[in-house]
Amino acid sequence: DAKTTQPPSMDCAEGRAANLPCNHSTISGNEYVYWYRQIHSQGPQYIIHGLKNNETNEMASLIITEDRKSSTLILPHATLRDTAVYYCIVRVEGGGTSYGKLTFGQGTILTVHP
């Protein structure tokens, strides 16, 4: 799986959009970009994933650059409950045996301030 690079920490004001960047310059054509977050003392939580098109769900939006070498997770209206470690993960999909391994890096600690 391709390696990802994320800033170690970011701050955001409550109610504002939080934009979390991720670099994955060695991503392969069949690798998807996944985002998870981990709130203190809880298990990681899936947020969103995508291949090359921008994706949006009830939690966030994922913007992937045209060359797929970087992406941005957008939390449109951050709340205090969004304070967490955010992990960007790149992995291959397809095939029954490939779902188990998620390679977590250090992630980005997002702190949302009142």
Partner 1 sequence: DAGVTQSPTHLIKTRGQHVTLRCSPISGHKSVSWYQQVLGQGPQFIFQYYEKEERGRGNFPDRFSARQFPNYSSELNVNALLLGDSALYLCASSIVGGITEAFFGQGTRLTVV
Residues that bind partner 1 (CB under 8 A): 32, 34, 42-46, 49, 85, 87, 93-94, 96-97, 99-107
Q: Provide the token pair at 18.
A: 């939080």
Q: What's the CA gap between 20 and 108, in Å, rounded?
A: 8
Nearer to partner 1, 12 or 89 (CB): 89
Helix/strand/coil for 36:
strand
Decide: 39 and 112 in contact? Cβ < 8 Å: no
User: Minimal distance in Å, beta carbon 44 to partner 1?
Assistant: 5
Nearer to partner 1, 96 or 114 (CB): 96
